[in-house]
Structure 1
Amino acid sequence: MMAPGFTGASIDRADRVRHDPALLAAARADSRARLLILHGLDPELTPDGKLLWTGTGDAAGEPLFLGFDREDVPLFAPAPPPGIPLPGGRSAELSAMLDHFQPEDAALYAAARSLVDWHARHGFCAVCGTTTAIFRAGWGRKCPACHAEHFPRVDPVVIMIAEHEGRALLGRQPSWPQGRYSALAGFLEVGESIEEAVAREVGEEAGVRVVNVRYVASQPWPFPSSLMIACIAQAQDDAITMDVHELEDARWFTRDEVRLALTGDPQAPFKAPPAYAIAHTLLTAWAEG
């Protein structure tokens, strides 16, 4: 099975550096240290899909430490300028890049984007409202007033296929490209297990009851900072009662139909999700049995 997109970064995240100001200063002073070039939250890519970097001397303020690459080169991301909101969502330019990333660089970009975006959205203490400051090499913010410490969080999302008698349940949202169908998905709620979230989301969106939830793979999704948890579950029946506020359509597809879609066959009954999305990985795993 192909590894999900945004996974496979080979950097050493070097937690030891986050806790040692001397090690962090040495990493920043290293003549080989590199700073990721970002325009807002969008990167620049070389023609072969690699990220573009510059020297840390170009950093405005304190850069965010990402880790060391295979040659022990320190890598940093730029901290967002204070008080200036970054654009949300995915720009058209980034969407056009996503199919062209080298896998390792896509994974590294995912980490950098989520970290930079978190700093841009968490400049104030959630306890007392005071402006916070970067600490732990960029992997936290600390309040100078009440001394509360805040750290980047990941939002877990279940994404799943319900299967019934050799068919997979897929749906589509109206904002998607014409003809695209994909796995159902939704955020985990507090006090809920992965298995419970899968059953709830499939029930809410399609009215289908599922059991025997099986984990397949996971993927960081940096828009802004989710962890996609891919699962397959067994449907107890195939009657669909669709939530029209969530979905435009939901249907059952056979393995042969899914295989056609994954290959981009013009005769396929739907368009598959892009290869960088874990929904593509999940459909591939299901189609391969």
Structure 2
Amino acid sequence: MRLAETVTFGGSGLNRAAHLRGDAAALQQALSTGCVLPVWRGKPLLCADALGWLPAGHAALAHGRSPVFLGLDEAGLAYFTQDISDWTPEAGAEAVEQGFLDQSIQRHPALNEAYGFEELRAVMVRLTARDAELAATARAVLHWHRSHAFCATCGQASDMVMAGWQRQCPGCGAQHFPRTDPVVIMLVTHGNRALMGRSPGWPEGMYSCLAGFVEPGESIEAAVRREVLEEAGVTVGPVRYLASQPWPFPASLMIGCAAEALTETITRDPAELEDALWISREDLLAAQSGERPGLMPARKGSIAHFLLTNWLADRLN
């Protein structure tokens, strides 16, 4: 798919400069002249429609853990991120992780009102490709550190090493690396219609492509066929890869595929889907234009929205 890398979080050509990760002196120098993105409980700092970069040592980073090196820009400026989740906002300013999307904004007393910690899914389409890649990388790697602080081999607390791209156990010496979970997401079509479903808890009327985790020992194509059959009872034939999207909620790689359905009858698994249906191109186009009451397409910025939009425009090749 020629437009594959234009998907949100699809990449901006960031130089991750992995050769610097083990060079403590070079990293310290880079940090002194570079910039740091604070992340609070998974929410990056924003300033208007851009990431809120701060200099190392800023008061807002006082509760920060060790910085993680993200990479270099074309001019050699170094980007870092720090988890400041130990900071506690004033009463009443805590995150409200309820419902489908956290719309709350937290403001740090060391920053002016233009700055705030916001849910990445709520702002992702406002960011440049570079900011989106940096924010997704920061959120994913910091979440991994918070959820994998102990050695999976012996249970001892592990240490962050290699500029945040590795953890090492001081007890047994085991090395651990950031994980990414592969997920297939399928644009399943049958003639002029696409198969779409909705999960419990989604906003009323929202439908999206079916998706599921790839299991150990399973190919991408096999995962597509298994997931569609399990969730909707539809048999799938030919499968082809289209595009991928890092999805740091918390640590997935969405593998977008096109799949041709061999059967039409839907037998929904109620444990997986609240509803599933075939939607025509005309109805989907009307829904994306806001002219189809009761039908809300996938969120802008998601690979599902990207695949469906390109299918409507006949740009999947």
Give the TM-score of the pair, scaled to structure 2. Answer: 0.83
Backbone CA RMSD of aligned residues: 2.1
Distance 2:9 2:160 in 1: 26
By how many angstroms is 1:98 displaced?
3.5
CA–CA separation in structure 2 for the residues paired with 1:57 and 1:9: 28
Contact kept? 1:7, 1:104, Cα under 8 Å: no
Task: Give deviations 1:163-192, integer Å, cap 9, x for gaps.
Answer: 112211101112111111110000001010
Q: Which residue of 1 aligns with 2:300?
A: 275
User: Could you tell me which residue of structure 2 aligns to residue 261 of structure 1?
Assistant: 287
Pairing of 1:170-189 with structure 2 (within 5 A):
170-189=196-215
CA distance in 1, matches of 2:17, 2:186: 33
Q: CA deviation at 1:272?
A: 0.9
Task: Deviation per CA, 1:99-141: give whole Å up to 9, x if none.
Answer: 4333321221000000111101111000001111110111010
1:207, distance to aligned residue in structure 2 (A):
0.2
* Residue of 77, 85, 92 corresponding to 2:103: 92
Q: Is 1:68 aligned to 2:69, yes or no? A: no
Report what 2:116 is aligned to: none
Q: Quote how far apart the aligned CAs of 1:214 are.
A: 1.1
Question: Is 1:50 the equivalent of 2:83?
Answer: no
Residue 286 in structure 1 maps to residue 306 in structure 2: no
Secondary structure at 2:57 match in 1 = helix
CA contact (8 A) 1:158 1:194 kept: yes
1:258 offset after TM fit, Å? 1.9
Asked if 1:15 corresponds to 2:18, the answer is yes
Contact 1:159 1:186 in 2 (8 A): yes
CA offsets, 1:136-170, max 9 Å, x none? 11101000011100000100000002211221110
Could you tell me which runs of 5 or more consecutive residues in structure 1 were left unpaired when the two chains were aligned: none
Structure 2 match to 1:245: 271
Quick check: 1:112 aligned with 2:138? yes
Count of equivalent residues: 282
Aligned to 2:134, the other structure's residue is in SS state: helix
Distance 1:81 1:143, change over 3 A: farther
Native 8 Å contact 2:8 2:125 kept in 1: no
How far did residue 61 of structure 1 move?
4.4
For 1:6, the aligned partner's letter is F
Contact 1:181 1:270 in 2 (8 A): yes
Contact 1:10 1:70 in 2 (8 A): no
- Whole-angstrom distance in 1 between the partners of 2:168 and 2:162: 9
Quote how far apart the aligned CAs of 1:80 are: 5.6
CA contact (8 A) 2:186 2:256 kept: yes
Mapping of residues 59-208 of structure 1, within 5 Å: 59=61, 60-79=64-83, 91-93=102-104, 94=119, 95-208=121-234
Moved more, 134-143 or 5-14: 5-14
CA distance in 2, matches of 1:269, 1:255: 16
Aligned equivalents of 1:9 and 1:118: distance in 2? 22
- Is the CA contact 1:127–1:148 (under 8 Å) kept in the aligned structure 2? yes
Distance 2:233 2:156 in 1: 45
Q: What is the Cα deviation at residue 37 of structure 1?
A: 2.4
SS at match of 1:200: helix
What's the secondary structure of 2:184's corresponding residue?
strand
Render the CA deviation track for 1:226-273: whole Å, top value 9, x for unaligned: 0001111111110110001111111111112222223x2323662111
| Local SS of the residue matching 1:202 | helix
User: Runs of 5+ in structure 2 lacking a partner?
Assistant: 89-94, 105-118
Moved more, 277-286 or 100-109: 100-109
The separation in 2 between residues aligned to 1:269 and 1:20, in whole angstroms, is 56
Range moving further from structure 2, 200-209 or 166-175: 166-175
* Aligned-partner Cα distance in 2 for 1:248–1:276: 23
Q: Secondary structure at the match of 2:171?
A: coil
Provide Cα deviations, 1:28-86, integer angstroms capped at 9, x if missing partner.
23x3x111022222122222x1000111123444211011122211111114668x9xx
Are 1:225 and 2:282 counterparts? no
Q: Secondary structure at the match of 1:24?
A: helix
C-alpha distance in 2, partners of 1:128/1:277?
Answer: 38
Which 10-residue stretch deviates more, 167-176 or 1-10?
1-10
